[in-house]
Structure 1
Amino acid sequence: MQTKPAIWVKWVLAMMLIVGGLVTTTAVTPPTLAHATTVYVTRTGKHYFYKRHDRGLNRAKKVYAVSLKTAKQRGLTLSATEKAPAKRRTVKRVTRKKVTRKRTAKKVTARAAVKPQGTYTVGAKTYHVKVINHNHPGFSRATLSTKHGAWQTYGNLDGYNRATAANALLNRKLMPKGQRQVLSVNPTAWHNKRIKTGWLYNRCHLIGYQLTGQNNNLKNLITGTRQLNDPGMTTYENKVAAYLKASPKHYVRYRVTPVFKGHELLARGVKMQMQSIGSNRIRYNVYLPNTQRGMKLNYANGLSQVAR
């Protein structure tokens, strides 16, 4: 007759065969669902679990780690608290071809820099300016020095009482603080009249009043069309004024020369040269023609008539 301990041993062995070689564990780190080959079961449960700590195993006293194949052979099914592991999706990497974009030149506006060559239109009005030497003013190093501060000089009138040239090293200190007075002197070829767009001529400062405060100075005045004065010269003067106002340390070398032909009293145009010191924020060398659209000018004396 077998003893009770022997019967108990046989019963344990029988249970182990039923479980199918279950291995008790509580420290197994579950693999990711996409690669699960191990599942978790209880001794008497009807389901298997992919996650060791699934809520369906919370009340189990013992949890066994077995292969998925073994669990299915025992007739166990996946617990309703879990979903079957999703298949790993293979994502194809798309290599983007590098696209080389052609740079498109920006359209020049009244506030942008002047084109380095050719002519352009200032603002919304048609007024063509000729750019000289790719906008290099060509000043000597000596006249670009700020050692002695700002200065301004005006050439003497020539034998026909025509203005010659105006030079300056501009700085905020030279800019006027008071209100501008009305101009009362007349430069050569001053034969003004009304046309469709307003007055034909302006008393044009070689160096604008806003830059130096010079006003009734015949050495700094010529007879110029409204078109030459504005938008022509005013466009550049405003650029320089804005630059000077930005800092008391800003300087601009500046020269304006009227261009006369022979003994003519009305200038054919003006040459403007300017260069900011220590930078190229301001750098121009341009020729502005003294013309007015729709008008024919007599450059010998300043008389005019409507163009036909």
Structure 2
Amino acid sequence: MKKKWTVSILAFLLAVSLLAGCGIETTSQPDVSAEPSQSTTVETPDSGQDVEPDDTESDPEDQPQGPDGSEQETDSSASASGHELEPSGVTFTLSSVPAYSGSAYVAVNGNVPYFTADDLTTTSFESYSSLDSLGRCGVAYACAGQDIMPTEDRGSIGQVKPTGWHTVKYDCVDGKYLYNRCHLLGYQLTGENANEENLITGTRYLNIEGMLPFENMVADYVQETDNHVLYRVTPIFEGSNLLASGVLMEGYSVEDSGEDILFCVYAYNVQPGVTIDYATGDSYLTSGGSAISEEPSAPVTSQQPEEPETSGTGTVQSDYVLNTNTKKFHLPSCSSADDIKESNRQEYSGSREDLIAQGYDSCKRCNP
């Protein structure tokens, strides 16, 4: 009997030994040979640190863009989710602006406006500075919203002559006339017409290439979203100069913390091909030539009577409003001029004889 138990025990031990030798497992183990999951962290070659994949780069479409759709440089604190404003003691200085080198405007302060958290509001407003002792404009500031945007066509502004104003034409200038009456806060944002606290003497280049793209960008955004944009324009006058060297333009979309509108640019008050004396507004061709025509016109305030300007030949120079559809020209005060559609309306400074030579007839109501 003892021998039988011994055989049985030996047989059992032999069976266990055979099973172990074949590598058979009695419990399942996790598979450690699989490829790493795509959701794991990745190592960046530059730092050697592990970062989450979503932090490796931002979507270019989330970056603030300029009027031409190009990505604009911002400082490192601006993110795809917007730029939160904080109290800041940083101020703008003209010395920080590079000399004009072919671009109508340049980003300053990392393209981030100088607004602070205390400026944030979703209540539309507009404000203008009083003219200084030289008759010059100051800061114009607004929170642009649909409720202060214009609902009618723009009126005449020809009666305003900002400091440094000259009626002068050059062949190298688009539209001939060197100077425009430039709105600090564009008409499409606030509906201001002949507000002397909102109009400066600016070159055609400043008006069309420097300022208009930003004005249109802000206006389009407000119209499309019904959101608000903090918008501030500061004319920069050096010393007692009557003509601004340029304007500082700042914009910040409030409801999305600057995600869609975020810019801080300096637009140059220059005109390619023309040299300007900023102390007086006088100008001449850079190549040494002369203007097509120039009529001297001393800066005036709204309290001074406006007199017709004359050229050296005695031809009277005046401001008119043209209807490019009917080919009629009107005095700015004419009631018929107020009825002209914006698409057909054009302001003109020059002689009556030139207009007639261009095929225009005088209005029968105001008889200019």
Tell me the residue number matched to 1:296.
Answer: 275
1:71-116: CA deviations, max 9, x gaps? Answer: xxxxxxxxxxxxxxxxxxxxxxxxxxxxx9xx9x999882334344
Tell me the residue number matched to 1:247.
Answer: 225
Q: Check if 1:236 corresponds to 2:194.
A: no
- Cα offset for 1:173? 1.0
Q: 1:108 to 1:170 in 2, by over 3 A?
A: closer
Q: Check if 1:142 corresponds to 2:121.
A: no
Q: Check if 1:215 corresponds to 2:193.
A: yes
**Residue correspondence of structure 1 range 87-106 to structure 2 within 5 A:** none
**Residue correspondence of structure 1 range 31-180 to structure 2 within 5 A:** 110-116=68-74, 127-146=103-122, 149-180=123-154
Tell me the residue number matched to 1:191.
Answer: 166
Structure 1 unmatched ranges of 5 or more = 1-99, 121-125
Q: Check if 1:307 corresponds to 2:286.
A: yes
| Percent of matched pairs sharing the same residue | 38
Q: 1:119 to 1:187 in 2, by over 3 A?
A: closer
- Cα offset for 1:135? 1.2
- Cα offset for 1:119? 9.8
Letter in 1 for 2:209: P
- The alignment's TM-score, normalised by the length of structure 1, stands at 0.60
Letter in 1 for 2:200: I
Letter in 2 for 1:128: A
The residue matched to 1:193 in structure 2 has which SS? strand
- Cα offset for 1:233? 0.2
CA contact (8 A) 2:97 2:108 kept: no
Q: 1:204 to 1:113 in 2, by over 3 A?
A: farther
Report how many residues are paired: 199
Greater gyration radius? 1
CA contact (8 A) 1:119 1:128 kept: no
Q: 1:284 to 1:192 in 2, by over 3 A?
A: same
Give the one of 262, 265, 274 matched to 2:239. 262
Letter in 2 for 1:256: V
- Cα offset for 1:284? 0.6
- 2:278 and 2:116 map into 1 onto residues whose CA distance is 33
Q: 1:160 to 1:140 in 2, by over 3 A?
A: same
CA contact (8 A) 1:187 1:203 kept: yes
The residue matched to 2:132 in structure 1 has which SS? coil
- 1:150 and 1:161 map into 2 onto residues whose CA distance is 27
- 1:115 and 1:137 map into 2 onto residues whose CA distance is 12
Q: Which has the higher contact order (CA 8 A, sep 6+)?
A: 2
Q: Check if 1:273 corresponds to 2:250.
A: yes
Q: 1:109 to 1:256 in 2, by over 3 A?
A: closer
- Cα offset for 1:142? 2.2
CA contact (8 A) 2:182 2:202 kept: yes
Tell me the residue number matched to 1:93.
Answer: none
Q: 1:268 to 1:109 in 2, by over 3 A?
A: closer
- 1:288 and 1:113 map into 2 onto residues whose CA distance is 18
- Cα offset for 1:263? 0.5
